[in-house]
Amino acid sequence: MLLFLLLLLGSPSSSAAGPGVTARTLSPCYSADLRPASSSLVSAVGCTVLLTVPPLNTSQVVFWEYQSGPWEGVILSYTLDGATNTSRPYENRTRFNETDSSLQLVLQKGDDGLYRFSSGLETTDWFQLRVLEPLPEPEIVGNVSVKAGGSTKLVCSVLGGKVDSYWWKKNGELLLGSDHIQFVDHGTLCILKASMNDSGYYTCVVRNEVSQNEASFLLHVLNSPNVVLPVILACVVVGSLAGVFVWCRRRGRQRL
Ligand SMILES: *[C@@H]1O[C@H](CO)[C@@H](O)[C@H](O)[C@H]1NC(C)=O
Ligand SMILES: *[C@@H]1O[C@H](CO)[C@@H](O)[C@H](O)[C@H]1NC(C)=O
Ligand SMILES: *[C@@H]1O[C@H](CO)[C@@H](O)[C@H](O)[C@H]1NC(C)=O
Ligand SMILES: *[C@@H]1O[C@H](CO)[C@@H](O)[C@H](O)[C@H]1NC(C)=O
Ligand SMILES: *[C@@H]1O[C@H](CO)[C@@H](O)[C@H](O)[C@H]1NC(C)=O
């Protein structure tokens, strides 16, 4: 009989489906979805989620639990005499509501995992929380100028966070691929046989489930650099020679 009881206590996962946790991301949070979800939710590092439970029969002590891979532990426990005991990794970033037993949590990178509430008498099902990193502003690497007729490429990359999709805009308008504009790999734009028309602001947009960010790059297509530069230099040289000539003549006259 004792053995049976121990087995029963030792295997909480064998119990039938319990009441469910509902969660939602609180505003503001990048561009994450703020609607409540009932078995899993995607949210972002730095955002706050609110985990709520239906009314349950409670005993003297209730607790919120976390599980991720082999790691399992108590986030916080609350005794009905009014003491909340929060475990160290959750200090200063959780708020337990004593009235409805909900939990507010400011997310960090390692919070991806399963959450459940136990009232001592009843335990909810595990709720899955996916915690993604919001994308920082991307970086675009490329040459700021290219000669007409030449090819160039702009490489857009993001340090940190996982990008779901990339796209490009030129002067604010969506850029479509063609023979002469090609998108290769993830985030690389190739411009083949550049013409003057290809000059402009190129914007790389990156997106994942919780965020969107972008950066711009000004590209200059030079028509005939071999002609323009010497002409400018020649003008400057002629101009200064003319200046020296006038100056010499003035000094010559003053001496006379
Ligand atoms: C809080 O919980 C930890 C571990 O769960 C325990 O070691 C500690 O004694 C508790 N503190 C209080 C004040 O109950
Ligand atoms: C929480 O805040 C208190 C007081 O500011 C501080 O002493 C403690 O180290 C903080 N805990 C964590 C885990 O940051
Ligand atoms: C706790 O929950 C109750 C009932 O949902 C709500 O009225 C109250 O404002 C909440 N308290 C806090 C501090 O959020
Ligand atoms: C820029 O252009 C120079 C010379 O045309 C080339 O050597 C260099 O690799 C280019 N840099 C990038 C980032 O494309
Ligand atoms: C460049 O743009 C002008 C007007 O925007 C257009 O008439 C011309 O056909 C374009 N040339 C090329 C090579 O795309």
> Residue 85: its pLDDT value, please?
94
Structural domains in the chain plus CATH codes = 18-132 (2.60.40.10), 139-222 (2.60.40.10)
61 lines ligand 1 (CB under 6 A): no
Which ligand sits closest to the CA of 90?
A: 2
CB 192 within 8 A of CB 158: no
The residue whose CA has the least distance to atom 14 of ligand 3 is 97
Q: What is the pLDDT of residues 70-84, one digit of tens each?
A: 889 999 999 988 899
Partnered with residue 173 across adjacent β-strands are 170
84 lines ligand 1 (CB under 6 A): no
The residue whose CA has the least distance to atom 11 of ligand 5 is 197
Query: Cα separation of 167 and 214, whole Å?
Result: 10
39 lines ligand 3 (CB under 6 A): no
> Residue 87: its pLDDT value, please?
94
> Residue 238: its pLDDT value, please?
53
CB 187 within 8 A of CB 166: yes
Torsion, Cα 137 142 144 150, to 10 degrees, reads -150
Structure token digits, residue 178: 């063609």
> Residue 101: its pLDDT value, please?
93
The one-digit pLDDT tens for each residue of the chain (256 residues) are: 444 444 444 444 444 567 899 999 998 988 888 999 999 999 999 999 999 999 988 888 999 999 998 889 999 999 988 899 999 999 999 999 999 999 999 999 999 999 999 998 899 999 999 999 999 999 999 999 999 999 999 999 999 889 999 999 999 999 999 999 999 988 999 999 999 999 999 999 999 999 999 999 999 999 865 555 554 555 455 556 555 555 556 665 655 5
> Residue 180: its pLDDT value, please?
92
Which ligand sits closest to the CA of 104?
A: 3
Structure token digits, residue 7: 């087995």
What is the number of the ligand 3 atom nearest to the C-alpha of 97? 1
- N-term to C-term CA, the chain: 130
> Residue 15: its pLDDT value, please?
46
> Residue 81: its pLDDT value, please?
84
What order of strands is seen across the sheet that includes strand 83-86?
A: 40-44, 127-132, 113-120, 58-68, 71-79, 83-86
Structure token digits, residue 95: 């708020």
